[in-house]
Amino acid sequence: MDAKLMVSTDPGDVKKLKDVLKKEDALAVVVGTATSEKPSEEDKSPAAGALLKGVTPEGDTALHAVTSTDGEGQEFLTYAGIIYRRDKSLLFAKNHKGDTPLHCAARAGKPKMVAYLIDLAAREGADSMLRLLRMENKRHETALHEAVRIDKGRNLGRKERASLYPAEPAGEEEKDDADGAPEEKNIVKVLMGADPELANYPADGLSPLYLAILLDKSTIALALYALSGGNLSYSGADGQNALHIAVLRDKDTGTH
């Protein structure tokens, strides 16, 4: 079994992955000795060459595979770390849809994995961390968009909406239920904590704030606003922005 198949069929088995990589390394040494050729950069880390190749028809690398799977115990983080150390470029690799491993981890609802990938990038420097966080897929979405979709959210009462939309007319306050907000913004909070300006991306496209309101996840919209200090994009689809969609949502629910 090679490393690619190992990751796609048995993610989380750290010992088995190490055994597979050791066998690949040993084979590469034998081949290199037999040919007496100077090893290429890829051959110097033989397993890296295999791991770089897609393990699925979607072009996922081994790191995509392990960040997409169910389960978020320490063994999965260890597994991801082993793959990363074999080839650090995999952290920034995109599949055929343009998704990075960070997109995959956010989509899978894995806050610990998201935080770990961010930490790996941060070890390479602040610029590398921001690069990873702000990378867009072919839908021009960052991992924050995936977090908005996966994290739980709810509609807001008038007082909560007022903090997002100060121009909203005052009226009788509805009962607010904000107790669940920290849980609901779990992955969003991890991403925004690493990059408070992340809600400004993409520069020209559907913003995370617009998406949150479109999906009726107003608590997440409020979290985005708070965590960014109000410095975030309101842009949306077809010339609309987050305020437009918020007004339409309020009309639909009869809250105005």
Q: Under 8 Å CB-to-CB from 189, ≥6 apart: which residues? A: 182, 223, 227
List of the chain residues with pLDDT < 50: 1, 29-44, 47, 51-52, 166-185, 244, 247-248, 251, 256
| Total residues belonging to the chain | 256
**DSSP character for 36?**
T
Q: How far is CA 29 from CA 24, 53, 86, 146, in A?
A: 9, 20, 16, 42
Beta bridge partners of 235: 241
Say if residue 175 is exposed, middle or buried (CB neighbours under 10 Å; 0-12, 13-18, 19+): exposed
Beta bridge partners of 241: 235
Q: Please give the structure tokens belonging to residue 169.
A: 């007319």
SS3 state at 235: strand
Domains belonging to the chain, first-starting first, are: 1-138 (1.25.40), 144-256 (no CATH)
**DSSP character for 229?**
T
Contact 46, 25 (CB under 8 A): yes
pLDDT digits (tens, 9 = 90+) for 188-216: 999 999 999 999 999 888 999 999 988 98
Rounded-to-integer distance, Cα 135 and Cα 142, Å: 6
Tokens 């981890």 belong to: 105
The pLDDT assigned to 250 comes to: 52
The pLDDT assigned to 194 comes to: 98
The pLDDT assigned to 7 comes to: 61
Rounded-to-integer distance, Cα 244 and Cα 143, Å: 24
